[in-house]
């Protein structure tokens, strides 16, 4: 039976974050945690195109792939992201403190996009984020939910320059696909390893 490929994509869900720890040039990832309430994710390519002219034509064109920059819009930024990634501190009363001395951590950003045939899962391997911008308004005639927007830079991973990976389910990779959000996916991974 022939596999059906997606013709379109829509619907962001299952956003997860895995904190990066780097020691002696080796990157390890923490256990992914969910970022519920995903509204949208934009990812604009970063990098220049440099043409080289010879023989009165564009003889060679060099393209630099420096990753992406974009925004993650979510219903409300989870505490786990604020503390683990943005470095905020929680006191004994449960209050979160933001300080100019907070140290941001790098992370992997994972998620899922629906398609007309299959759900596609993706990962950006080396991300940094700004503090979320938030909008707060008084309630007028209807209660309009307000969202948080986090600006994210998705860079090439320092260890091997990998930026992202995308996987769609198939008969061959179903087990790996099913466990995608339990551990950061690496090239040629097998389920449970």
**Model confidence pLDDT, tens digit, residues 51-60:** 888 898 888 8
Residue 190 falls inside a structural domain: no
Q: Looking at the domain assignment, is residue 142 inside a domain?
A: yes
Using alpha carbons only, how large is the chain's radius of gyration in Å?
20
Q: Could you tell me if 154 and 162 are in contact, meaning their C-beta atoms sit under 8 angstroms apart? A: no
Tokens of 159: 């260890």
- Rounded Cα distance between 123 and 167, Å, is 9
Average pLDDT over residues 55-66: 86
Tell me if 191 is assigned to some domain: no
Instruction: Enter the tokens of residue 35.
Output: 């970022």
Supply the pLDDT for residue 1. Answer: 43
Q: Residues 90-143: pLDDT tens digits?
A: 999 999 999 999 999 999 999 999 876 689 999 999 999 999 987 766 667 777
Kindly report the three-state secondary structure assignment for every residue of 95-110.
CEECCCCCCCCCEEEE
Specify if 193 maps to a domain. Answer: no
| Total number of domains constituting the chain | 1
Please report the pLDDT score of residue 116 as a whole number. Answer: 65
Structure confidence at residue 157 (pLDDT) = 93
3 within a domain of the structure (yes/no): no
Residue 165 lies in a domain: yes
184 found inside a domain: no
Q: What confidence score (pLDDT) does residue 193 get?
A: 47
User: Is the pLDDT confidence value at 2 over 60?
Assistant: no
pLDDT tens, 26-50?
A: 999 999 999 999 999 999 989 888 8
Collapsing DSSP to helix, strand or coil, 79 comes out as: helix
Cα 136 to Cα 45, 88, 125, 159: the distances in Å are 31, 21, 32, 40
DSSP 179: T
Check residue 141 and give left, alpha or beta (phi > 0: left; psi -120 to 50: alpha): alpha
Domain, as residue range, for 136 = 9-178
pLDDT in tens, 151-183: 999 999 988 999 999 999 888 899 999 999 999
Q: Give the predicted TM-score (pTM) of the model.
A: 0.85
pLDDT at residue 192, rounded to an integer: 58
Q: What is the 3-state secondary structure (H, E, C) of 3-59?
A: CCCCCCEEEEEEEEEEEEEEECCEEEECCCEECCCEEEECCEECCCEEEEEECCEEE
Residue 84 backbone phi and psi in degrees, to 5 = -75, -40
Asked if pLDDT for residue 75 goes beyond 80, the answer is yes
**Residue 57: inside a domain:** yes
Contact 151, 132 (CB under 8 A): no
Q: How many CA atoms lie within 13 A of 4 on its CB side?
A: 8
């Amino acid at each position: 039976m022939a596999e059906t490929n997606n013709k379109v994509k829509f619907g962001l869900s299952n956003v997860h974050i895995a904190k990066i720890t780097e020691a002696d040039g080796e990157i390890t990832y923490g256990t992914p945690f969910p970022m519920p309430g995903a509204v949208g994710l934009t990812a604009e390519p970063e990098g220049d195109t440099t043409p080289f002219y010879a023989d009165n034509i564009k003889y060679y064109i060099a393209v630099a792939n420096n990753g992406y920059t974009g925004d993650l819009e979510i219903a409300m930024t989870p505490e786990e992201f604020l503390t683990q990634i943005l470095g905020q501190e929680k006191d004994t009363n449960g209050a979160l403190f933001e300080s100019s001395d907070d140290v941001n951590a790098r992370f992997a950003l994972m998620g899922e996009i629906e398609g007309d045939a299959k759900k596609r899962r993706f990962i950006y391997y080396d991300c940094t984020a700004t503090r979320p911008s938030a909008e707060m308004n008084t309630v007028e005639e209807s209660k309009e939910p307000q969202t948080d927007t986090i600006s994210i830079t998705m860079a090439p991973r320092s260890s091997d320059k990998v930026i992202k990976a995308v996987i769609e389910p198939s008969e061959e990779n179903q087990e790996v696909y099913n466990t995608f959000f339990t551990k950061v996916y690496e090239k040629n991974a097998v389920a449970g390893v």
